[in-house]
């Protein structure tokens, strides 16, 4: 039981450390979502957005320092979103 509780705490701590990625992704999602107000041609699906995000997490360069990893994910995702 203690192992499960410790694992849960570890997961919560790790999740909290990646909040900057979530904030950046949230901002970009609503920017892309608002493009449909300009022209319906710019409507994108949540699935499309999620696929780009998941690919970015997998493809962004790894780093030993968490801040660098977060920066790598944010930069890779922003560029991938721009290219798509």
Q: What pLDDT score was predicted for residue 77?
A: 99
Rounded to 5 degrees, what angle do the CA atoms 12, 16, 21 make? 135
Residue 1 has pLDDT above 90, yes or no: no
| Whole-angstrom distance, CA of residue 60 vs CA of residue 75 | 8
Nearest by Cα to 55 from 33, 34, 79, 28: 79
pLDDT single digits (tens) 35-81 = 999 999 999 999 999 999 999 999 999 999 999 999 999 999 999 99
Q: Where are the domains of the chain?
A: 20-83
Q: What pLDDT score was predicted for residue 11?
A: 95
Q: Provide the whole-model pTM.
A: 0.89
Any idea what DSSP says for residue 41? Answer: G
| Whole-angstrom distance, CA of residue 13 vs CA of residue 9 | 6
């Amino acid at each position: 039981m203690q192992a499960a509780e410790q694992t849960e705490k570890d997961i919560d701590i790790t999740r909290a450390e990646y909040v900057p990625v979530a904030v950046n992704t949230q901002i970009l999602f609503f920017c892309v979502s608002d493009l449909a107000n300009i022209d319906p041609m710019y409507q994108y699906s949540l699935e499309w957005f999620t696929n780009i995000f998941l690919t970015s997490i997998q493809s962004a360069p790894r780093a030993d320092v968490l801040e660098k990893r977060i920066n790598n994910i944010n930069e890779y995702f922003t560029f991938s979103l721009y290219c798509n």
